Amino acid sequence: MTQTTRHRPILATLAACVLTTAAAAQPATVAPPQGARQVLEVQAQGVQVYTCEASANGYHWAFTAPDAWLFDATGRQVGTHFAGPTWQLQDGSKIVGAVQAQAPSPEPNAVAWLLLRVKSHAGTGLLDNAAFVRRIDTHGGAAPTTGCDATQAKTQARMRYTARYVFYAAP
């Protein structure tokens, strides 16, 4: 028996514990409706774009748009995620969502976990029946912590992030 073979049961147990812990940590506020059926899960890697803008209270970093690539479980790029927020797959299907609920990420300096309702569809493919999108397991992507002022007005900051997007059909 090789060392790798001996450790497989231990690794499987650890992986199950991590998945169980991650599932337990997911806030109910961003859960899809009961009975919703998962149609796709992808991993996103990219940036959250922020722009330095003026407001009544001075200058602040305002969220502008995501800019990310979407990967399937094998690591193959299957689509993109961009302003709208929009998800477009290489099969031609495209959806635009609207935030329905959010919860803070358990990881510091990570963008919030979200539940979005799909408000429009285009093309045909895997996202045809998607009614909800869930963003979880976020890492990074929070607005810059450095100040923004009049000298930086309209400047953009691109903050690296990763997340898992899960698409659901309506119950």
Q: Residue for token digits 């479980």?
A: 73
Please give the share of the chain, as a percent, with pLDDT higher than 70. 85
| 123, 86 Cβ separation under 8 angstroms | no
Q: What is the pTM of this model?
A: 0.83
* Cα distance between residue 168 and residue 171, in whole Å: 9
Choice between 24 and 77, residue whose per-residue pLDDT is larger:
77
Please write the tens of the pLDDT for every residue from 90-131: 999 999 999 999 999 999 999 999 999 999 999 999 999 999
| 156, 50 Cβ separation under 8 angstroms | yes
Question: How many residues are listed for the chain in this entry?
Answer: 171
Segment 14-22 mean pLDDT: 37
Please write the tens of the pLDDT for every residue from 145-166: 988 999 999 999 999 999 999 9
Nearest to 118 by CA among 36, 48, 34: 36
Please write the tens of the pLDDT for every residue from 72-84: 999 999 999 999 9
Computed over every residue of the chain, the mean pLDDT equals 88
Contacts of 83 (CB under 8 A, 6+ apart): 64, 65, 66
Residue 87 has pLDDT above 60, yes or no: yes
Q: What are phi and psi of 21, to 5 degrees?
A: -65, -45
Q: At CA 101, angle to CA 70 and CA 67, rounded to 5?
A: 25
